[in-house]
Amino acid sequence: MPQSRAVDPGRLLVLLLSLVWLLARLPVGYEAAVVVPPRGVPALAAHHSTATVAALPCTQSEPPEAGYEDEPGVDSADSSDEPAAAAPVVPANRIGSDPLHTYNENLWRAIHVPQRAPRVHVAILDGPVRDDHPDLPPVVHIAPRERPADGSCGGEDCCPRALPAAASWHATRVAGLIAAVRENGIGLAGLAEVGELVSIDTRIDGAGGDLRLAAALHCAIAYRGADGAPLRVVNMSLGTQVPPRSNALREALQAASDAGLLLVASAGNSGADIARLPRWPASFNAEAMLTVEARRYDGALSKNSNSGFGTVDIGAPAPERDEGPPVCSTSVASAHAGSAGCAGDYAHFDRTSAAAAIVSGAAALVWRDPRYADCSAVQLRQVLLQTGRYCRYGTDPGQAPVCMLDLAFLGDPLSPAAGLCSRRASD
C-alpha cells in the first residue's frame, strides 16, 4: 500500500517567505488606467498589462544647450553627473536592441509587430538634428523665419530648407528615440519607422522665443512630404516659464491642433506643478496635445519631473541615472568615454525631454497599425491615454488621472482600444 509523503515544514516556510518577498516588490499606489473619456469619445474598458519599460544603460552626459529642456535658468538643471551604480553595463553588441528593450519583453514584442499602414511624417521642434548620423534616417531641415501677423515674411519663403551649421545633441537624442533606423546592423532602433523626419530649428532662449516657436509651428502646419501628406506628430521637448509676449504662440498651438497635428510637449524638470506655475508650451491645453511627465520604471514620478493634474496628460519612462538605467539614444560625436554600450555616436538621455520623445515615437508607431491608421490626432491621443497604466490620481475627483504610456495593446489583436477610432471624435 503506498505511503503518503509528509510535507517538509522548512520547505513550506521558504515558499511562503518567497511569496511575501514577491508581493512586496509590486508597485503600490498605482492602478491600470480607467479613464473617463470626454464627451463624444467612446469609452474603453480597463486594459491590464504586465509590461514595464526599459532602457539601454549609459553614463555619458553633455553640457546643457541654451533654450532646451536641460538649460539652467530656463526650466531645469542639466543632467546629473552621478554614476549610475545600479545600471549594468551592456556590451556594445547589445546596443542593436531597442532603447526600451532590455527590461521589457512585452513592449519589445509590441513594437516589433509588423505594421502595414503607411509611415507618418514626424517633426522635431528643437535645435538641428544631426544630419550625418549613421543610425538616423535622412533629415529634412527647415529654418523658420519669424513672421508678422499677416504671415508674409516680407515676401520670402517663411519656411526655407537649409542645412544647419552645427547639430544639436539634444535634438539628435530626441530623434534617436523616435526614429533611429531598425535592422541596419548598427546602433539602436527607434520606436517607429517614420516617413520623413523633419527638423525645424526652434530656439526659444532669449527675447522673442515665443515668436520663434510660433513660427516653427506654422512651418509644421504648412509642411507636406514628398508624398503630399502632412505631418502627423510634432515633438516639442523644450519650454520656458517666461510668459508669451503676445497671443502669437497660443494661436499657433491652437492652429496646429485644429490642423490635425498631434502636439507632444515635455512637462519640464523643475519639480513644479505647472497647473499652478504655467510653462510654455506644456501648459497650453488643446484637444490634440499631450504634455508628458517623466516616470521611473516602476511607474513612480521621476524626482525632478514637473507635474500638474489637469495640465499634464501622460507619463513615459525616462528615469534619471540614480533612479534606474537611463535610456540610450543617438547623439553628436563626442570624446566622452561613456559606458561600453553607449558612447561615441550615442549617449544617455533622460528626464521629460526623453519622455516626450518616447510618446512621440509611440504615436507614430500606433498610426502604422491598420486598426489605428484612420485615427484623428484627437482620437490617437485618447488611445494613448486610455491604454496606460501606473496611474496617478489627484485630490479633485473631477481630475483625470495621469497614467504611464503602455504599448502592450498593439500586440493584442482583440484590444478594445481600436474602438476609439471607429467614429469621428466629434460624434
**CA–CA dist 285, 364 (Å, integer):** 21
Report residue 331 as a C-alpha cell: 547623439
- What is the distance of C-alpha 246 from the center of its chain? 28
* Burial classification of residue 207, based on how many CB atoms lie within 10 Å of its CB (0-12 exposed, 13-18 middle, 19 or more buried): exposed
Of 419, 411, 426, 342, the residue nearest 374 (C-alpha): 419
Provide the pairing of β-strand 346-349 with 327-330: antiparallel
Q: Cell 513672421, residue?
A: 147
Are 184 and 95 a contacting pair, CB within 8 Å? no
Can you state the percent helix, strand and coil of the chain, rounding each to 5? 25, 15, 60
Helix (H, G, I), strand (E, B), or coil: what is residue 349? Answer: strand
Residue-by-residue DSSP string for 357-377: HHHHHHHHHHHTSTTTTT--H
Phi and psi angles of residue 302, each rounded to the nearest 5 degrees, phi first: -65, 150
Residues 6+ apart with CB under 8 A from 284: 249, 250, 253, 265
Question: Which has the closest alpha carbon to 161: 144, 138, 147, 148?
Answer: 144
Plot region of 183 (φ>0 → left; ψ -120 to 50 → alpha; else → beta): left
Q: What is the chain's Cα-based Rg? A: 22
Active site residues: 126, 170, 353
State yes or no: cis peptide before 281, omega within 30 of 0. Answer: yes
Cell triple for 420: 476609439
8-state DSSP, 195: S
Q: Are strands 389-392 and 402-404 parallel, antiparallel or unpaired?
A: antiparallel
∠23-28-31 over CA atoms, to 5°? 110
